[in-house]
Structure 1
């Protein structure tokens, strides 16, 4: 009886801890649609499809902390035993958004012969930089540790992110093997190394002539540039791009500010003969990946790049 009571209290405390985490629900597909529909009256939200070829496993715990668990949702092509994996990071200014926003994109890419994973990570109301980076890297380790369960080839891992998630994807990929960006408390037999990066409208440098990052970045980075210059530099993928950086695909909107540092990164990649592509979605808004007709174009660019790198 005492043991049962203890377990109930333990579970209750965990739920209470999770409920006390601040949640910003301002960035959703619905709210973004409402903002864009007047300027782009032709847009539609793409419909989910599966066709029976995708196995879906949601709310998988990849990390159990003291206060709460972190989850991922898996969508994997079941006809192949070893698929390249795509780790998917949602946007929302490091503060809002959730992993469900990546589901439709994940399923569509999975249908092309991939295992896709929408990752929950701690946002800035709960944890500041670099904790969210640790979370996604731990998710990568977890997926590699359980590769057979998810039909994953652990030597073929891509990280894809949208907006702030794109910034995170680029940083995760450019810090392969950098212990400063690893969670020492997370025990795994696998590394968080990735073999390709897909940055969808995410900045590559926070302090840069092309950048206009301000309040949202400052909140995540623990202060303004004047207060935390080391964070602003270290959180920028441009600061870490070198001969060890994997191939990168940049899918960009028509807004230049979301591409800050991109050309500098490409120049470094070119020096080391590392493959990169830039695909610009003409006349598109930020968050174009949520909507048709740009959704299909995003999928095409992504899968063509992944096929080139992995297949």
Structure 2
């Protein structure tokens, strides 16, 4: 009887630990939901599918980092790699999904990653910790760890480490800009993963992502207490002004460190907060920047045909030009 009681305790404890380790997930941001929202106004929209081109090979669900001690126990972070079938080294693009730093998955970047890989780029959609699991700055630490992992494994995946760019969509666009504009700053590196290589990137593609939380178009928004940026940053601007500034990519841009940036914009101006000021700074510094605007009121246009096709062409053209002779 005593033995049965002990077994029961062990089983109960195991179940409790298992339940404790379950990471909360917000699946509200997904392609089907967005399609239902926009299809009435935009009947031309067709969701882009995961469909591997003939000239591309895929390696999926690779572990790039292991977090040993989190509130949810041991945690693996993953990425996917899409490579051109051709020989030799290729420029690479790290790709960050959106979802308000709270929702979304790297799978939402896969159709765009596949199309870009067919044009000669190694593309890498990356998983990162969302706000229900970890607040700022965990995501930026994750992403920089992913870049270092890619560089350390560059030979395996035919990556030219002198030609690496980062892209992101919406919240991912913000994270891509923050990653690229903090090249070489130890404060943003974190303590995760490999440190035998740097996390430097040579170009940024910001797709509808804010670059300044303090710009009027962002700061003046009416927010609920559970708004995505408030949740991710751990409080409102009035509560955490220094954090809101620190997490704004524009404040880290300097003449010496800024890299070429491509902005792809929807018709919603609030997602471009701070963009005009950053572009003005870059032009004064004689640094390359480019803007392409889609005149549609569809924020996640990159998830759908026909816009994903133009998105692919614009990004490919930018990367081909700007990564040709990266330092």
Same fold (TM > 0.5): yes
Instruction: Give the TM-score, by structure 2 length.
Output: 0.88
CA distance in 2 between partners of 1:303 and 1:127 (Å): 33
- Matched residue of 2:110: which SS? helix
Partner residue, 2:247: 235
How many Å apart are 1:55 and its aligned residue?
1.3
- Matched residue of 2:305: which SS? coil
Partner residue, 1:179: 186
Partner of residue 207 from structure 2, selected from 177, 200, 205: 200
Aligned Cα RMSD in Å? Answer: 1.7
5+ long unaligned stretches in structure 2: 1-10, 69-73
- Matched residue of 1:148: which SS? coil
Q: Does 2:59 correspond to 1:57?
A: yes
When structure 1 is superposed on structure 2, of 130-139 and 17-26 the one drifting more is 17-26
Kept in 2: contact 1:81–1:148 (CA 8 A):
no
How many Å apart are 1:213 and its aligned residue?
7.6
* Residue 227 to residue 156, structure 1, CA distance change in 2 (3 Å): same
* Residue 290 to residue 232, structure 1, CA distance change in 2 (3 Å): same
Kept in 2: contact 1:78–1:151 (CA 8 A):
no
Aligned residues: 300
* Residue 213 to residue 56, structure 1, CA distance change in 2 (3 Å): farther
- Matched residue of 2:156: which SS? helix
- Matched residue of 2:155: which SS? helix
How many Å apart are 1:17 and its aligned residue?
7.1
Partner residue, 1:216: 228
Partner residue, 2:161: 154
* Residue 284 to residue 163, structure 1, CA distance change in 2 (3 Å): same
- Highest CA radius of gyration, 1 or 2? 2
* Residue 286 to residue 213, structure 1, CA distance change in 2 (3 Å): farther
Deviations 1:183-207 (A, max 9, x none): 1343321100000000000001112
Partner residue, 1:165: 172
CA distance in 2 between partners of 1:18 and 1:259 (Å): 39
Partner residue, 1:44: 46
Kept in 2: contact 1:49–1:108 (CA 8 A):
no
Q: Does 2:96 correspond to 1:104?
A: no
Kept in 1: contact 2:149–2:194 (CA 8 A):
no
Deviations 1:98-153 (A, max 9, x none): 01011100000000000000100000000000100000000000000000111100
How many Å apart are 1:51 and its aligned residue?
3.6
Partner of residue 237 from structure 2, selected from 214, 225, 236: 225
CA distance in 2 between partners of 1:41 and 1:181 (Å): 43
Partner residue, 1:5: none
CA distance in 1 between partners of 2:81 and 2:161 (Å): 15
How many Å apart are 1:86 and its aligned residue?
0.3
After superposing on structure 2, the runs of 4+ consecutive aligned residues of structure 1 that deviate more than 6 Å are: none
Partner residue, 2:146: 139
Q: Does 2:258 correspond to 1:245?
A: yes
Partner residue, 1:259: 272
Partner residue, 2:100: 93
Kept in 2: contact 1:174–1:245 (CA 8 A):
yes
CA distance in 2 between partners of 1:100 and 1:255 (Å): 24
Deviations 1:147-172 (A, max 9, x none): 01111001111000000000000000
Instruction: Give the TM-score, by structure 1 length.
Output: 0.93
Q: Does 2:290 correspond to 1:277?
A: yes
Partner residue, 1:69: 76
5+ long unaligned stretches in structure 1: 1-8
